[in-house]
Amino acid sequence: MKITIVDTYYAAFLARFYEASPELVYKSYDEQLQSLIDACFGTSDFYSRHLNKLGCVANDLIVNCEPLQKKWAQDCGLDVSNLALRIPHRMFRLPVLGKFLANLPGLMEVAVAQIKLTKPDVLYCQDLSFFPPAILRELKNYVKLVVGQIASPLPPKDFIREYDLILTSFPHFVTTLREHGVKSEYFKIGFDERVLALLNSSKKDIAFSFVGGVSRHHEGAIPLMEYLACHVDSMRFFGYGADRLPKSSIIRQRHGGEVWGLNMYETLSRSRITLNRHINVAQNYANNMRLYEATGVGAMLLTDRKENLQDLFDVGKEVLAYSSKEEALEFVRYYLDHPSESEEIAKAGQARTLRDHTYSQRMQELVPMLKKYLYQ
């Protein structure tokens, strides 16, 4: 089974990545792609590497990375516009204008050319907002099965209807998608144990952290973080969105900078306790990436209580769950004062993730699921 995995990376990460290595733009497409994959951003090659081990032929495309895609176009003699390459892909879903922008000789044209050249059995899209409906219809002439995966707010309905199958880590999304006439299955995300071999630090010098973002999708996290920061002097915030907060915000004052990819894993690994809170659309269901990233690198995870959390971890033994800001504070204070107990929970959580929640295991679940829809 031939699988092309399409992903988009955060623009802020890409900008900083190329700023840190300006010589990278002069390197080959393969060298740029490998360098990006080695940074372990998002799901990196966590899917393709394990799928290839299972006998599939899988490759990765980072379709919104301007220097990378520009290099591929140059190598293949594809005439593209530098201006069009710089158009943010989120603009492709704008009414009327989005269709026009997507048809310009830029990122979309390069991605379509790559897929037409590869002709995969399965086109696996990690970002449902990239391909407009008309483009997906065109690609179905070259691809047998178009699959999407989502664990974030759903894009406009038009952007999901052309998918043959959408996988999601939120159970309630399955129901919603099926009501829209789209086939959908529940599929959990996970942790890649390869990350552990890439970490440089084994010290626990961050007592209590929140690693993530502050955006309109995380509005509920801000009052919680403000409350905890006011009562716990050692709390630190690492991630994006601090500049959106008032200068007087205690969260902004505790900001330790943006962390991406391996730096994010390193920060989590250095944390004795780390806080997790799901985005608003998760409703009462747990399954964001931080559950597995934090436990996978050995941090004690304090997460918001969700209906299905006990299905993923033994709550109280492998992770801790809070139902209110007061309960969260009680946990933080107690376990900061009892480091041996927090370490015991962290070790149990890591053991559970490495046993039950790795991408190696997830891909073993994914392959038969894809075959079911590919050959039905």
For the cut 80, the answer to whether the pLDDT of residue 325 exceeds it is yes
Mean pLDDT over 248-270 rounds to 96
Q: C-alpha 180: how far from its chain's center?
A: 24
The whole-number pLDDT of residue 84 equals 75
The whole-number pLDDT of residue 157 equals 85
Lowest mean pLDDT among 195-199, 207-211, 242-246, 289-293: 242-246
HEC string for the chain: CEEEEEECCCHHHHHHHHHHCHHHHHCCHHHHHHHHHHCCCCCCCHHHHHHHHCCCEEEEEECCCHHHHHHHHHHCCCCCCHHHHCCCHHHHHCCCHHHHHHCCCCHHHHHHHHHHHHCCCEEEECCCCCCCHHHHHHHCCCCCEEEEEECCCCCCHHHCCCCCEEEECCHHHHHHHHHCCCCEEECCCCECCHHHHHCCCCCCCEEEEEEEECCHHHCCHHHHHHHHHHHCCCEEEEEECHHHCCCCCHHHHCECCCCCHHHHHHHHHHEEEEEECCCHHHCCCCCCHHHHHHHHCCCEEEEECCCCHHHHCCECCCEEEECCHHHHHHHHHHHHHCHHHHHHHHHHHHHHHHHHCEHHHHHHHHHHHHHHHHCC
For the cut 90, the answer to whether the pLDDT of residue 280 exceeds it is no
- Token pair, residue 10, equals 């955060």
The whole-number pLDDT of residue 323 equals 96
Mean pLDDT over 303-321 rounds to 97
How far is Cα 208 from Cα 188, in angstroms, rounded to an integer? 27
The domain over range 2-190+359-374 is classified in CATH as 1.25.10: no
Confidence band, pLDDT 50/70/90 cuts, at residue 215: confident
CATH code of the domain occupying 194-356? 3.40.50.2000
For the cut 70, the answer to whether the pLDDT of residue 218 exceeds it is no
Domain 2-190+359-374 and domain 194-356, same fold? Reply is: yes
For the cut 80, the answer to whether the pLDDT of residue 99 exceeds it is no
The whole-number pLDDT of residue 217 equals 62
Mean pLDDT over 126-138 rounds to 93
Domain extents in the chain: 2-190+359-374, 194-356
- Its pTM stands at 0.93
236: CB partners within 8 A, 6+ apart: 206, 208, 209, 210, 254, 255, 256
326: CB partners within 8 A, 6+ apart: none
The whole-number pLDDT of residue 220 equals 74
Contact criterion met (CB below 8 Å) for 205 and 270: yes
The whole-number pLDDT of residue 119 equals 97
How far is Cα 156 from Cα 149, in angstroms, rounded to an integer? 15
Mean pLDDT over 66-73 rounds to 96
Mean pLDDT over 153-164 rounds to 89
The whole-number pLDDT of residue 21 equals 96
For the cut 70, the answer to whether the pLDDT of residue 96 exceeds it is no
Mean pLDDT over 286-311 rounds to 96
For the cut 70, the answer to whether the pLDDT of residue 203 exceeds it is yes
Q: pLDDT tens digit string along 343-371?
A: 999 999 999 999 999 999 999 999 999 99
